[in-house]
Structure 1
Amino acid sequence: MKNPAPPQSATSLPRAPRDEAQTRMRKYFIMMSIRVICFVLMVVITPYGWHTWVLAVGAIFLPYFAVVIANVSSSSTDSRAVPPERALPATASEAPPSAESTGVIRLHESPAVSSAPQSDRPGETV
């Protein structure tokens, strides 16, 4: 099943800095909580074995990944404003209704054609 397009935005403004900072802090807090859990489990679980090394790697390297993941820009998920013409379906439209059926009077201008001689031009005689 194809993913639907994100909803069209009325503006192309980025997210508010306060909202973006809050999202980054939440990501960082979650990652650092996992680090603390890894550290506590590394010390508490005995006898020491391969799992101790896995938890130690998590406790050592998670701060780096927490900073990188928290600072990754979320602009790739932001949608830009789309011109309204692009949001319209690309189907063939019906022929426009005739003027008689809609009750609309349409006026079309054509270039003026004068049959009377013009004598106000310099150098011409009538």
Structure 2
Amino acid sequence: MNEPVPSITSAQEPLAVDQARRTRSYLIQMSIRVVCIIGAVLVDGWIRWALVAAAVVLPYSAVLVANAGRDHTTHDTSPVTPQAAPMLEELPEEAPPAAHQGEDGQGQGRVINHVDD
């Protein structure tokens, strides 16, 4: 009985949530860059050059990730399949009441007394 509820909207996440996520991602990558710079000063050899290369590349990738924006969220847009309604029984046809029939058998309609003020 616990069927998944179909999505009826493709609304995006709130702008504040999106900005907070992108800011957090940028700050994490810039923190890694600071660690790479400090590490490059403290160590020697090929590790120093690997840390320098990471410190040079990280700002570019951090900006790309931060500016990617809101377009990487996907929503399920598959159509909702309606459930079949139970079959209705046909009701027998009834003759219209005699009070609403005229002499020719045609319906007279409903008469409403209306008073204008």
Q: Which amino acid aligns with 1:58?
A: A
Q: Number of matched residues?
A: 90
**TM, length-normalised to structure 2:** 0.61
Aligned to 1:105: 91
Bigger RCO (CA 8 Å, 6+ sep): 1
Contact 1:8 1:79 in 2 (8 A): no
Aligned to 1:44: 42
Gaps of 5+ in 1: 1-6, 108-115, 117-126
- Alpha-carbon distance, 1:78 to partner: 2.9
Alpha-carbon distance change, 33 to 106 in structure 1, aligned in 2, over 3 angstroms: farther
Tell me which of 14, 32, 36 is aligned to 2:12: 14
Percentage of identical aligned residues: 33
- Alpha-carbon distance, 1:73 to partner: 2.8
Contact 2:26 2:66 in 1 (8 A): yes
Contact 2:22 2:69 in 1 (8 A): no
1:59 paired to 2:55: yes
Q: Which amino acid aligns with 1:21?
A: Q
Alpha-carbon distance change, 14 to 53 in structure 1, aligned in 2, over 3 angstroms: same
Q: Secondary structure at the match of 1:32?
A: helix
Q: Which amino acid aligns with 2:10?
A: S
**TM, length-normalised to structure 1:** 0.57
- Alpha-carbon distance, 1:79 to partner: 1.0
What's the C-alpha RMSD, in Å, of the aligned pairs?
3.1
- Alpha-carbon distance, 1:98 to partner: 6.4
Larger deviation, residues 12-21 vs 30-39: 12-21
